[in-house]
Amino acid sequence: MLKPAAGHSRWSNRVVAVSSIFAGFGAAHLIDDFLYGVPAEFNLSNPPTQFLALAFFVALTGLIALAARGTRASYQGLITIGLLLALADTVKHIPEIVGSASFRSGAASIFFAIGLIVSGLATASVAWFALRHHGTAQPQVKGE
């Protein structure tokens, strides 16, 4: 069983909770993207896009599992992935949402897009605070 590193359980629990919400929005938004042909906009067929989606979710699941242990690498990875997806979704979808009378299926599609952006930023923020706390909570070894 994975146990958090000493002194990190509160932060690692927060990171796991927020990044799990992020994963949920990621899955829902990905399905919405597939339904509305977004892979084709990037000249991708479904099989390679499905492989990329699988690779993403395997990596995200691994980072969440490592966050449960309170590892610095997981926090750094979740900061990166949260910011990148929030930025990508902001650049891709906010102009579409603002510039059209109806965005895809309406409120549900908007909720998934905005939810992914907000939860990505929240994941990056909580992981950043956890990483900062991780740096200050390390036990000092005598002689250093």
Calculate mean pLDDT across residues 48-67.
Answer: 94
Token code pair at residue 101 = 């009378």
Query: ∠24-27-30 over CA atoms, to 5°?
Result: 145
- Whole-number pLDDT of residue 3: 54
- Whole-number pLDDT of residue 142: 53
- Whole-number pLDDT of residue 85: 95
Token code pair at residue 88 = 């990508």
Give the model confidence (pLDDT) of 60-69 as tens digits: 999 999 999 9
How far is Cα 137 from Cα 7, in angstroms, rounded to an integer?
A: 7
For the chain, domain boundaries: 21-136
